[in-house]
Structure 1
Amino acid sequence: MKGRRSARAPLIWIALALAIGVPIALAAGSEQLTWRGPVYILAGFAGIIALGLVLVQPLLIGGYLPGLSAYRGRRAHHRIGGTLALAVVIHVAGLWITSPPDMIDALTYTSPTPFSPFGVTAMWAIFIVALLALLRWRLGLRLRTWRIVHIPLAIVIVAGSVAHCLLIEGTMETISKAALCAAVLAATVKVMVDLWRRRTLRDSSIARP
């Protein structure tokens, strides 16, 4: 059993690297980049990286990445959460610099583009989670309360990010983009189900006489 786990460990990391790296590499070779300025390109790739980080987050908190203890996984989850928020800031700031009117429309939910409201909603959810994570101990949020707040926001982040990405016809290649979005959804659903099962088992064991 140990041998199988050790053999699977590199495959899991390779699969994760491919899930994130292939869409980035294919986007880097897109012909559309020829007509874009450096700030717009930076903003676009910050968005792609942010989606990749959204995939990593449930894998960390669920303990699915081999070689990481539960403690290290939580620490990495917190740090990557901050990196995710920074990537979103770069994404939005870059798009604001290149086209302020479009960003104003997006932020005020008046943009005619169908992908904008999903991205903006996911952005606010990311910022709220990041802010609450920074203030968690000052606010005295216990683990149970934190989960009650964090899990619905995480669902909003995942659903909004995936919808935003799928509706955009940009530099990302279609198949690799769909595969990355599917991986994000699958990882999120799995961690939600597993956490619910663990909590149910724990509660039932406590309730036993």
Structure 2
Amino acid sequence: MRAALIWLAVLVLSAVPVVLSLASPLLQWRDPVYIAAGATGVLAMALMPLQPLLATGRLPGLGGFRGRRLHRIIGALLLLCLLLHVAGLWITSPPDVIDVFLLRSPTPFSTWGLLAMVALLLSAAITALRKPLRLRWRLWRVAHLGLAAVVIGGTVAHALLIEGTMEPVSKALLSLWLTAAFAGSLAAPLRHRASARRQG
């Protein structure tokens, strides 16, 4: 019963913001490429809370190897969503995208989005190159967590500053859940150590 409730909460918190954004009246006069670009951005944000939960084995039935494998798969999906998001925005408005890359965009949310994008690309790069570069696990983990914090912080700021297709309440709840999931993943090792000390 507890596992079912956890999965129900995960489904609602992730799916509802995506569904509501696709039902936004602001999309009525938009072309399909613009709609797809926005949808992939929302989908990426909806998938992000799963990452810290999978990495720390806190989702029922997805502990250990299965959780880590799905963590890598979702990481690849996040990269795909990012590429589609940026490509769609480029197709619909190249000058705006150029302004963002040159750090001269007048909209603050664009800068936060760029920061999150760069951090996500760097995170993927150090993960792919971890073995070739012979990075120590502890060093890689610190870098990975640091970049994840930038991705999450940038994504939340990017989303909250945009007055767009995302429904405000579900967007705020998704932002809160994403932040809480990451904070919980940072606290998980501390809880394990405290528990081990008590048992020892």
Unaligned runs of 5+ in 2: none
Answering whether residue 145 of structure 2 is matched by residue 151 of structure 1, we say yes
Q: CA deviation at 1:122?
A: 0.4
Q: In structure 1, how many angstroms separate the alpha carbons of the residues matched to 2:193 and 2:137?
A: 13
Percent identity over paired residues: 49
TM-score, normalisation: structure 2: 0.94
Equivalent in the alignment of 1:89: 83
Equivalent in the alignment of 2:173: 179
Specify which of 127, 131, 139 is matched with residue 125 of structure 2. Answer: 131
Q: In structure 2, how many angstroms separate the alpha carbons of the residues matched to 1:196 and 1:157?
A: 23
Q: How does 1:67-86 map to 2 (within 5 A)?
A: 67-86=61-80
Equivalent in the alignment of 2:9: 15
Q: CA deviation at 1:21?
A: 0.8
1:38-93 deviation digits (Å, cap 9, x = unpaired): 00100000000110121110111121100112111111111111110110110011
Q: In structure 2, how many angstroms separate the alpha carbons of the residues matched to 1:136 and 1:72?
A: 20
TM-score, normalisation: structure 1: 0.90
Q: CA deviation at 1:195?
A: 2.4
Residue range with higher mean Cα deviation, 190-199 or 19-28:
190-199
Equivalent in the alignment of 2:19: 25
Q: CA deviation at 1:24?
A: 1.1
1:6-49 deviation digits (Å, cap 9, x = unpaired): x1111111111111111111111111111211001000000001
Q: In structure 1, how many angstroms separate the alpha carbons of the residues matched to 2:45 and 2:22?
A: 16
Answering whether residue 35 of structure 2 is matched by residue 36 of structure 1, we say no
Specify which of 112, 123, 146 is matched with residue 106 of structure 2. Answer: 112
- Report the AA paired with residue 60 of structure 1: L
1:86-107 deviation digits (Å, cap 9, x = unpaired): 1011001100110000001111
- Report the AA paired with residue 93 of structure 2: S
Unaligned runs of 5+ in 1: 1-6
Equivalent in the alignment of 1:198: 192
Q: CA deviation at 1:198?
A: 3.4
- Report the AA paired with residue 181 of structure 1: S
**Contact map agreement 2:90 2:97 (CA 8 A) in 1:** yes
Q: In structure 2, how many angstroms separate the alpha carbons of the residues matched to 1:32 and 1:40?
A: 11
- Report the AA paired with residue 165 of structure 2: T
Residue range with higher mean Cα deviation, 92-101 or 20-29:
20-29
Equivalent in the alignment of 2:60: 66
Q: In structure 2, how many angstroms separate the alpha carbons of the residues matched to 1:28 and 1:83?
A: 19
**Contact map agreement 2:54 2:63 (CA 8 A) in 1:** no
Equivalent in the alignment of 2:41: 47
Q: In structure 1, how many angstroms separate the alpha carbons of the residues matched to 2:76 and 2:69?
A: 11
